[in-house]
Amino acid sequence: DQQVKQNSPSLSVQEGRISILNCDYTNSMFDYFLWYKKYPAEGPTFLISISSIKDKNEDGRFTVFLNKSAKHLSLHIVPSQPGDSAVYFCAARGPTGNQFYFGTGTSLTVIP
Protein backbone atom coordinates (compact mmCIF):
# COMPACT_ATOMS: atom_id res chain seq x y z
CA ASP A 1 0.00 0.00 0.00
CA GLN A 2 1.35 3.36 -1.07
CA GLN A 3 1.22 5.63 1.98
CA VAL A 4 2.79 8.58 0.19
CA LYS A 5 1.49 9.49 -3.23
CA GLN A 6 2.59 11.84 -5.92
CA ASN A 7 -0.16 11.77 -8.50
CA SER A 8 1.58 13.84 -11.15
CA PRO A 9 4.35 11.84 -12.82
CA SER A 10 5.57 14.89 -14.71
CA LEU A 11 5.34 18.66 -14.79
CA SER A 12 6.63 21.24 -17.28
CA VAL A 13 7.08 24.88 -16.36
CA GLN A 14 8.53 27.91 -18.09
CA GLU A 15 11.70 29.36 -16.65
CA GLY A 16 10.92 32.13 -14.17
CA ARG A 17 7.46 30.78 -13.35
CA ILE A 18 6.36 28.95 -10.24
CA SER A 19 6.59 25.16 -10.03
CA ILE A 20 4.15 23.47 -7.66
CA LEU A 21 4.69 19.82 -6.83
CA ASN A 22 2.09 17.99 -4.80
CA CYS A 23 2.14 15.07 -2.42
CA ASP A 24 -0.58 13.29 -0.46
CA TYR A 25 -0.22 10.88 2.42
CA THR A 26 -2.54 8.55 4.26
CA ASN A 27 -1.00 8.03 7.70
CA SER A 28 -1.84 10.73 10.23
CA MET A 29 1.02 9.49 12.43
CA PHE A 30 3.66 10.81 10.03
CA ASP A 31 5.47 13.57 11.90
CA TYR A 32 8.11 14.86 9.52
CA PHE A 33 8.14 15.39 5.79
CA LEU A 34 10.93 15.94 3.31
CA TRP A 35 11.49 16.73 -0.33
CA TYR A 36 14.38 15.26 -2.28
CA LYS A 37 15.66 16.06 -5.74
CA LYS A 38 17.20 13.39 -7.92
CA TYR A 39 19.29 13.71 -11.05
CA PRO A 40 19.92 10.69 -13.31
CA ALA A 41 22.65 8.33 -12.10
CA GLU A 42 22.78 10.02 -8.69
CA GLY A 43 21.17 9.31 -5.35
CA PRO A 44 18.43 11.60 -4.04
CA THR A 45 19.60 14.91 -2.56
CA PHE A 46 17.82 16.53 0.37
CA LEU A 47 16.05 19.74 -0.53
CA ILE A 48 13.79 20.93 2.28
CA SER A 49 11.78 19.52 5.16
CA ILE A 50 8.91 20.39 7.45
CA SER A 51 7.82 19.17 10.84
CA SER A 52 4.19 18.27 11.40
CA ILE A 53 3.87 21.09 13.93
CA LYS A 54 4.43 23.68 11.22
CA ASP A 55 2.47 24.55 8.12
CA LYS A 56 5.17 26.29 6.12
CA ASN A 57 8.92 26.22 5.76
CA GLU A 58 10.89 28.38 3.38
CA ASP A 59 14.46 28.14 2.14
CA GLY A 60 15.41 30.52 -0.62
CA ARG A 61 13.42 29.71 -3.74
CA PHE A 62 11.89 26.64 -2.12
CA THR A 63 8.85 26.62 0.14
CA VAL A 64 7.07 23.59 1.51
CA PHE A 65 3.46 23.84 2.70
CA LEU A 66 1.80 21.26 4.92
CA ASN A 67 -1.97 20.87 5.29
CA LYS A 68 -2.40 18.23 7.98
CA SER A 69 -6.17 18.15 7.83
CA ALA A 70 -6.00 17.34 4.13
CA LYS A 71 -2.90 15.15 4.54
CA HIS A 72 -1.33 17.11 1.75
CA LEU A 73 1.98 18.85 1.21
CA SER A 74 3.32 20.84 -1.65
CA LEU A 75 6.65 22.18 -2.79
CA HIS A 76 6.78 25.58 -4.44
CA ILE A 77 9.80 26.62 -6.46
CA VAL A 78 9.89 30.24 -7.49
CA PRO A 79 11.34 31.36 -9.77
CA SER A 80 11.95 28.06 -11.53
CA GLN A 81 15.31 27.61 -13.24
CA PRO A 82 16.44 25.10 -15.88
CA GLY A 83 18.79 23.56 -13.30
CA ASP A 84 15.75 22.61 -11.25
CA SER A 85 14.86 20.00 -13.87
CA ALA A 86 15.00 16.70 -12.00
CA VAL A 87 12.78 14.12 -10.35
CA TYR A 88 11.35 15.28 -7.03
CA PHE A 89 10.37 12.84 -4.30
CA CYS A 90 8.39 13.62 -1.19
CA ALA A 91 8.98 11.46 1.85
CA ALA A 92 7.42 11.05 5.25
CA ARG A 93 8.79 9.67 8.50
CA GLY A 94 6.74 6.94 10.09
CA PRO A 95 5.74 6.70 13.75
CA THR A 96 8.70 4.52 14.76
CA GLY A 97 11.03 7.31 13.63
CA ASN A 98 13.11 4.80 11.71
CA GLN A 99 11.16 4.29 8.49
CA PHE A 100 10.78 6.79 5.72
CA TYR A 101 8.11 6.39 3.07
CA PHE A 102 8.70 7.87 -0.36
CA GLY A 103 6.31 8.88 -3.11
CA THR A 104 6.76 7.75 -6.70
CA GLY A 105 8.28 11.03 -7.81
CA THR A 106 7.41 13.89 -10.13
CA SER A 107 9.68 14.68 -13.05
CA LEU A 108 9.99 18.46 -13.36
CA THR A 109 11.15 20.04 -16.59
CA VAL A 110 11.87 23.74 -16.59
CA ILE A 111 11.81 25.09 -20.12
CA PRO A 112 14.26 27.94 -20.84
Partner 1 sequence: DTGVSQDPRHKITKRGQNVTFRCDPISEHNRLYWYRQTLGQGPEFLTYFQNEAQLEKSRLLSDRFSAERPKGSFSTLEIQRTEQGDSAMYLCASSLGGHQETQYFGPGTRLLVL
Given the rule CB under 8 A, which residues bind partner 1?
4, 6, 9, 32, 34, 36, 41-46, 49, 51, 89, 91, 93, 96, 98-105
Quick one: 96 or 112, whose CB is closer to partner 1?
96
Quick one: 10 or 14, whose CB is closer to partner 1?
10
What is the closest distance, in whole angstroms, from the C-beta atom of residue 91 to partner 1 in the complex?
A: 8
* DSSP secondary structure string for all residues of 42-109: S--EEEEEEETT-SEEEETTEEEEEETTTTEEEEEESS--GGG-EEEEEEEE-TTSS-EEE---EEEE
Quick one: 15 or 57, whose CB is closer to partner 1?
57
Give the CA distances from residue 24 to residues 35, 42, 54, 56, in Å, rounded to whole numbers and listed in that order: 13, 25, 16, 16
What is the closest distance, in whole angstroms, from the C-beta atom of residue 14 to partner 1 in the complex?
A: 26
What is the closest distance, in whole angstroms, from the C-beta atom of residue 62 to partner 1 in the complex?
A: 14
